Structure 1
Amino acid sequence: MDIPSSAERGHSVRHCYTQLPVDTMTDRYQNTQASPPPSSSFSERVGSFVGSCSRTSLMYMAENVSVSSPCSTQVNHPLNKPAKALTTLLYPHDYKLYDAEEHGSSIESSMKSLSRIDTSLNEQSHLLPIDQVYTGQSFVSTIADTYQDTPRPPKSSFIQSVFNSINILVGVGILALPLGFKYAGWILGSITFCFCLGLTNYTAKLLGRCLHAYPDSQTYGDMAYNAFGNHGRIIVSGLFLTELITCSVALVVLLGDGLDSLFPGTHPLLIRLASFLILTPMLFIPVRHLSYSSLLGIMSAVSILAVILVDGCTKQHTPGSLIESADTTWWPGDWMVFPRSTGLIMAGFCGHACLATIYRDMQHPKQYVKMVNWTYIIAALIYLAVAVAGYRMFGSGTMQEISQNLLLVPEYNQMLNRMAVYLIALNPIAKYGLTLNPVNVSWELALVRQPSIQMWYSKRPLTGNIIRVAGKILVSALVILLAYCIPDFDRIMSLLGACFSFMISGVFPILCYVKLFRPALSLAEKVMLYTLCCICFALAIIGTLWSFI
């Protein structure tokens, strides 16, 4: 299908970037970077690979969050001004643009109240400066990684992009896949898995078409604005924030279950208190360091797969054997819990939203479709291996996390299994700060945008730092409290898959694609897309409701 350009369709996304010369803005998203020079040593190649992975993980966590505010509609678009450095200033009721050469002293004094919060956020998150995105009616402050505003490193190669996609796609949801098959049975479980796999693969390609046709679009939020305006961007940002909070709750529950497996009999309240003491300090570590921990995702997935296969092949009899199958069923044993299986299986694909960042980070975006296919082939093999092996080994006794089953079989190599559990327990510790960082940055930006609070911050910097620290602690305490109130990992993952994955990975790309390319779509394509959208929406509602039943 020929994809019309944004110019042909009469749409454009207009950006005003703070403290950037206008002539550098026009080629900011151009994919004209040269390929990185050949590495001269193995360590440099490894460093390039790890750097690509951490950069992608950080950008994925940061770029889809926005903080909007009503602004004056009389502001001229900055790209229409002469090629001079412009600075965006925050005033009580609107954003005003001043020429840096004509109003240098005014800019300096006005920015003092923001400099402290900018500096502190930059030290903690490595995400600032903040970009002001002009929507035609207002500005929307988006959290952008500093890679966007500094000399950018070489983009990712094809192999690096595949690895980055798998690393983000294959997350903690893999632990609940055997339980999803237990709830659904072999037949409906396989059908649901194939549907989720095919759906997200297809919408990932729709996403690539939208990004190709609109070169200025960088994130899901940009796509939402292209299709539905500023309201679409705000809705998507709200969904991402809620999804990140839910992911953080899942990480807390996962850590708590790991601690309970290693120290059985410990009171749940004590486990949550220990989780709070372990995880909260992660919020104060700069995200540029935490982003390297994203490698733990694929490491833990591969380790749990290897442990399952080794344990299953070394044990001759059920339970816990791949040689002798446990009591599995072809159809759901309890139809009342079957709807929860759709969310559990779809939760494995909640990292689908990373593909927008992967696309923009590729050296050769024309290889995007090929990259998506290879990513899904490898991810599907990993997922199926864990799901099928885990359900065959434990059948009706499959627990909410397959790692819990592994520790209950005395015939297994306990040292090997405990090493896998330790690695899984490290995963939430490493990712907790990275996942919650956009949430913390969002409320900090929301505070500093208030004129009275902004002035109060500038006069009492020490008190402002105390508020920032206390705010992060309170956010962490709220997440821990939610984890204590909803201690079931399967319910959280079902909610994550049903409410967020179906909406963000299914409904949203389809609606954007239909909205942006409606004139070019045939009637059959429209019918198919609307049918898929309705199915996803229905599964999202049913799965969300059943997560609380």
Structure 2
Amino acid sequence: MAPEVKVPLLEGRGATPAQTLGNIVVSIVGTGVLGLPYAFRTAGWLAGALGVAGAGAATFYCMLLLLDCRDRLREQETEEDGHGGEQRPHGDGGNYTYGDLGERCFGPVGRHFTEAIIVLCQTGGTVAYLVFIGQNISSVLPALSSATVVLALLLPAEVALSFVRSLSALAPFSILADACTVLAVAAVVKEDVQLLVKRGQPFAARSAFAGLWGVPFACGVAVFCFEGFCLTLALEASMSNRAKFRPVLLQAIAGVTVVYVSFGVCGYLAYGDATRDIVTLNLPSNWSTAAVKVVLCVALALTFAVMMHPIHEIVESRLLAPGGWVRRRGGFVERAALHLSRVAVVATLAAIACFVPAFGEFAAFVGSTVCALLSFVLPALFHLRVVGPTASTWARAVDYFFLLSGLVFAGHGMYTVLSPQ
């Protein structure tokens, strides 16, 4: 999950198509990709491939819905200005954030709800990072006994990083995390290919369709993997030629989808029913595998602060609300309150991560609930509100399909978690 505003990679304007393509890939690809082989094991290699491809296509379409909403709101503001109406500024030069769209569609309640969903998505992403770090480090260093011990040792460092308020200073860590993810993916693919060549029959004893329940599970993991949805508007605004954004976005989503499908299929075919929820745990126990795990975990620990930034911003905006007790005290009290809030938020997320049983199930839950709301339900709802009155019957039908499907998907995710096992 990537921050919605003030993203270091997007500072300034004038990005070329190649730069924007790179930014889109950086904002999308995250640790969720390492859970795809497990999702394919649960759904079957064919069902999993179709689920990931469907999630990619739906993500692309709903990103376009947000752009359509923004374009229509700009047209409305231009018309209001032309008729002497009061201009309602949003962002820089008429740019909109996701929260701005929520406010324009449904007032302050819409903004609060949209930002709450964003915070929940960011929380899910940060907890997934911690779960990933805990499980991998404990597998490399058995002396630490459990992921809980790892997270307890990691907590002071994460609290210290949370005090760094400059996203520009934290940006290199985010890029390092993506580079290490590529390294880990390459290491896994190398091992997968070696195993497949050795076996000689890649599809033997591997299910193409493992059951109906596995399909929504795979889709949930896939939705979780398509991170960075909140960056759509900012990415488009960063381009020097915004008209080229849509084809660039299509190239990025299509390329990432192909990589996701290939990685998931190869991982499942290589390990079969032994596929772990984090596929790096399937790698052989040697020094190169341990190095890949450690480097990846260090990078994720460093970029954790970037993932936390939107949460800290919202919490601190409430603490520093005009007329509030903290604002009135100012000085030392204000600084202490800000630091304590960051300590409390990081400690709370670390405590939650200690009770998450498995990375794969958690990623599927986050993807099928709050990520589904953010990626499908809200874009369709905003589009119906802003563009719906003048849209074609077919366009409205598609919006209602995504709206209802997203709600059903989120409901199924909640039921799966809450229902007795």
Q: Where do 1:80-119 residues align within 5 Å?
A: none
Report the equivalent of 1:271.
150
| Residues 424, 548 of structure 1: alpha-carbon distance in 2 compared, 3 angstrom cutoff | farther
CA deviation string 1:59-86 (max 9, x = no partner): x5152xxxxxxxxxxxxxxxxxxxxxxx
Preserved contact between residue 49 and residue 261 of structure 2 (Cα < 8 Å): no
Secondary structure of the corresponding residue to residue 210 of structure 2: coil
Report the equivalent of 1:178.
37
| Residues 510, 385 of structure 1: alpha-carbon distance in 2 compared, 3 angstrom cutoff | same
Report the equivalent of 1:377.
254
For 2:179, the aligned partner's letter is: M
Preserved contact between residue 178 and residue 390 of structure 1 (Cα < 8 Å): yes
1:525 aligned residue (380, 392, 395)? 395
Report the equivalent of 1:444.
316
How far apart in 1 are the matches of 2:190 and 2:103?
A: 49
Secondary structure of the corresponding residue to residue 490 of structure 1: helix
| Residues 370, 270 of structure 1: alpha-carbon distance in 2 compared, 3 angstrom cutoff | same
CA deviation string 1:31-69 (max 9, x = no partner): xxxxxxxxxxxxxxxxxxxxxxxxxx9xx5152xxxxxx
Preserved contact between residue 309 and residue 389 of structure 1 (Cα < 8 Å): yes
* TM-score normalised by length of structure 2: 0.87
CA deviation string 1:242-299 (max 9, x = no partner): 1111211111111111211210252333222112133222101232211222213431
How far apart in 1 are the matches of 2:307 and 2:277?
A: 22
Structure 1 window deviating more from structure 2 (527-536 vs 165-174): it is: 527-536
Preserved contact between residue 4 and residue 230 of structure 2 (Cα < 8 Å): no
CA deviation string 1:162-196 (max 9, x = no partner): 10001111111101111111111123222212221
Shift, 1:379, TM fit: 0.7
How far apart in 2 are the matches of 1:274 and 1:161?
A: 38
2:66 matches 1:207: yes
2:14 aligned residue (132, 155, 177)? 155
Bigger relative CO (Cα 8 Å, ≥ 6 apart): 2
2:233 matches 1:353: no
Report the equivalent of 1:61.
3
1:543 aligned residue (397, 400, 413)? 413
Secondary structure of the corresponding residue to residue 290 of structure 2: helix
Report the equivalent of 1:341.
218
Preserved contact between residue 345 and residue 497 of structure 1 (Cα < 8 Å): yes
For 1:441, the aligned partner's letter is: E
How far apart in 1 are the matches of 2:158 and 2:8?
A: 25
Gaps of 5+ in 1: 1-56, 64-143
Structure whose alpha-carbon radius of gyration is higher:
1
Higher strand share: 1
| Residues 322, 483 of structure 1: alpha-carbon distance in 2 compared, 3 angstrom cutoff | farther
Q: Where do 1:96-495 residues align within 5 Å?
A: 153-215=12-74, 216-268=94-146, 269-285=148-164, 286-315=166-195, 324=202, 327-332=205-210, 339-406=216-283, 409=284, 414-449=286-321, 451-454=323-326, 456-458=328-330, 461-495=331-365
CA deviation string 1:474-503 (max 9, x = no partner): 111101110012242112211221112211
How far apart in 2 are the matches of 1:290 and 1:300?
A: 16
Secondary structure of the corresponding residue to residue 214 of structure 1: helix
How far apart in 2 are the matches of 1:146 and 1:349?
A: 20
Higher helix share: 2
* TM-score normalised by length of structure 1: 0.68
Preserved contact between residue 255 and residue 275 of structure 1 (Cα < 8 Å): no
| Residues 493, 326 of structure 1: alpha-carbon distance in 2 compared, 3 angstrom cutoff | farther
Shift, 1:229, TM fit: 2.1
Report the equivalent of 1:94.
none
Shift, 1:155, TM fit: 2.5
Gaps of 5+ in 2: 75-93
Preserved contact between residue 179 and residue 391 of structure 1 (Cα < 8 Å): yes
Secondary structure of the corresponding residue to residue 61 of structure 1: coil
For 2:301, the aligned partner's letter is: I
Shift, 1:505, TM fit: 1.0
For 1:430, the aligned partner's letter is: L
Shift, 1:508, TM fit: 1.1
How far apart in 2 are the matches of 1:376 and 1:221?
A: 23
How far apart in 2 are the matches of 1:476 and 1:427?
A: 17
For 1:263, the aligned partner's letter is: L
| Residues 177, 547 of structure 1: alpha-carbon distance in 2 compared, 3 angstrom cutoff | farther
Shift, 1:374, TM fit: 0.8
How far apart in 2 are the matches of 1:230 and 1:208?
A: 21
Report the equivalent of 2:87.
none
| Residues 524, 437 of structure 1: alpha-carbon distance in 2 compared, 3 angstrom cutoff | closer
Preserved contact between residue 196 and residue 346 of structure 1 (Cα < 8 Å): yes
CA deviation string 1:287-344 (max 9, x = no partner): 22112222134313321221122222334677xx6865574212226x5555433211
CA deviation string 1:90-133 (max 9, x = no partner): xxxxxxxxxxxxxxxxxxxxxxxxxxxxxxxxxxxxxxxxxxxx
For 1:199, the aligned partner's letter is: A
How far apart in 1 are the matches of 2:222 and 2:154?
A: 27
Preserved contact between residue 391 and residue 398 of structure 1 (Cα < 8 Å): yes
Alignment RMSD: 2.5
Structure 1 window deviating more from structure 2 (162-171 vs 192-201): it is: 192-201
| Residues 230, 311 of structure 1: alpha-carbon distance in 2 compared, 3 angstrom cutoff | same
2:379 matches 1:509: yes
| Residues 167, 145 of structure 1: alpha-carbon distance in 2 compared, 3 angstrom cutoff | closer
**Number of equivalenced pairs:** 398
For 1:332, the aligned partner's letter is: A
How far apart in 2 are the matches of 1:455 and 1:348?
A: 39
Shift, 1:469, TM fit: 2.0
Preserved contact between residue 12 and residue 238 of structure 2 (Cα < 8 Å): no
| Residues 255, 455 of structure 1: alpha-carbon distance in 2 compared, 3 angstrom cutoff | closer
Secondary structure of the corresponding residue to residue 142 of structure 2: coil
How far apart in 2 are the matches of 1:462 and 1:423?
A: 38
Structure 1 window deviating more from structure 2 (243-252 vs 338-347): it is: 338-347
| Residues 540, 462 of structure 1: alpha-carbon distance in 2 compared, 3 angstrom cutoff | same
